Amino acid sequence: MSNQWLTMSMGDLGRGIGAGKIDPLALTQTYLEAIKAHKFADRIYARPTESRALAEAAAASKRAASGHRLGLLDGVPISWKDLFDTAGVATEAGSALLKGRVPTRDAQVLRNATAQGLVCLGKTHMSELAFSGLGLNPVTATSPCVNDYDAVSGGSSSGAATSVAFGLAAGGIGSDTGGSVRIPSAWNDLVGLKTTSGRLSLDGAVPLAASFDTVGPLCRTVEDAALLLAVLEGQSAPDLRGASLNNTQLLVLENGLDGARDEPQAGFERALSRLIAAGAKVKRAKLSIVDEALAMSGVLFTTEAYATWHDEIEAQPDLMFGEVRERFRAGGQFTGVEFVRAWQKLEDIRKQYHAAVAGYDAVVLPTSPIMPPIASRLMADHDYYVEENLWALRNTRIGNLMGSCGLSLPTGLASTGIMLLGAPMAEERLLRLGAAAEAVLA
């Protein structure tokens, strides 16, 4: 039975613990043993936290035996992206610039999860300082895509995704500034939830661009995403029962189809046809304001990111992966006037966008318009790296720019995803829609 635990959803594991069929300590030991034995463990986990995991699991086991569980996920083991602070354990955000950085307290979202009895398996690898959608990191490690070991897994939450996809965690917690939860989820056939900016605490999370940074789960099911959202903010999980696509109004954002390659396009259209067959009503439109917003990505994201990390980068620039370093430095070309004006324009575009899509239950598009690139080619070809990184993030960035919540679901074709974008702070509604979509896409 223990091998089956490695592929079960978090919800099913929690129900198994509640029914007395799964012991939390045995469950955590099974995951820790799988991590030790896995050929890619060192490319997925930066630092397993075995002693913490075993102590937390033992406590969960006692609670389960006495009938005093803290919640459905009490005793379920998950992984944490290496930008969430862990007391007494290094948190380095995939960068040699932060080597040896040991926080004294957990990040707020980790404290919330621990208070609900979740078990911390360890810290996962990521793109350096979270500033790439590809997941390529020659400074620490590059996690392989579950569908192609020579390809990157997507970033920046690369290890968070692969820890789940390879059966080395029941769920993973990542962050999403421009697509960092949704891209690796799509490329590794997982569910990824990008929360609305401001919904979940960033206290104790190493920043990239705080105006856009968000926390989100990468997991096997929409139910798991809903359960983890609730745990991370210390609230009750939304009720997903009875969710239906019948007469759901969806808008296909054709901006996200421009230039999409054959496989992601095929996966998206396959998924969309199933949603329509299940009763969804679909319209298609291209919104010029979306392209206007995308054109401002450079000034908005890179300026804030470089302002955040300028001193550390320029003190020891040679410690960084060159592609990521130069992407940060691109933020230095913009003036304060240009940055403020871009934000003013974006706020106006957001109002226009949400007015234009207000009549729809969700905006849908391919999660990423490209497939996972081969790691060796990214390392050898600068122009290819820059081009693929921009393409990887093109669609997901729309959700961050518009301040939306977003959900990526597997389409049924390997390494392709369909993304649903919802209104700000409407995660519960989006998750219900996602649960209905998941049922017809399975």
- Residue 336: is it exposed, middle or buried by C-beta count within 10 angstroms (0-12/13-18/19+)? exposed
In 3-state terms, the chain is what percent helix, strand and coil (to 5)? Answer: 50, 15, 35
Other C-beta atoms closer than 10 Å to the C-beta of 428 total: 18
Which stretches of the chain score pLDDT less than 70?
1
* Dihedral angle, C-alpha 105, 111, 113, 117, nearest 10 °: 90
Helix and strand element counts for the chain (H, E): 18, 13
For the four alpha carbons of 220, 222, 224 and 228, in that order, the dihedral sign comes to positive
| Chain centre distance of CA 70 | 26
Tokens 């790691």 correspond to 375
Q: Are 234 and 137 in contact (CB under 8 A)?
A: no
Q: Are 329 and 313 in contact (CB under 8 A)?
A: yes
pLDDT of 107: 98
Tokens of 189: 């056939």
Q: Are 434 and 406 in contact (CB under 8 A)?
A: no
Please count the CA atoms within 13 angstroms of the CA of 150 that sit on its side-chain side: 3
Can you tell me the distance from the alpha carbon of 374 to that of 377, in angstroms, rounded to the nearest whole number? 6
Catalytic residues: 81, 156, 180
Other C-beta atoms closer than 10 Å to the C-beta of 108 total: 20
Can you tell me the distance from the alpha carbon of 28 to that of 25, in angstroms, rounded to the nearest whole number? 5
Phi, psi (deg, nearest 5) at residue 365: -165, 165
Residues 6 or more apart whose Cβ sits within 8 Å of residue 365: 252, 253, 255, 256, 257, 268, 395, 398, 418, 419, 421
pLDDT by residue (tens digit) across 120-173? Answer: 999 999 999 999 999 999 999 999 999 999 999 999 999 999 999 999 999 999
Other C-beta atoms closer than 10 Å to the C-beta of 253 total: 23
pLDDT of 2: 76
pLDDT of 242: 96
Can you tell me the distance from the alpha carbon of 104 to that of 89, in angstroms, rounded to the nearest whole number? 8
Tokens of 322: 């060159």
Can you tell me the distance from the alpha carbon of 178 to that of 308, in angstroms, rounded to the nearest whole number? 16
* Dihedral angle, C-alpha 208, 213, 216, 218, nearest 10 °: -40
Can you tell me the distance from the alpha carbon of 158 to that of 36, in angstroms, rounded to the nearest whole number? 19
pLDDT of 32: 98
Can you tell me the distance from the alpha carbon of 67 to that of 386, in angstroms, rounded to the nearest whole number? 54
pLDDT of 1: 55
pLDDT by residue (tens digit) across 371-382? Answer: 999 999 999 999
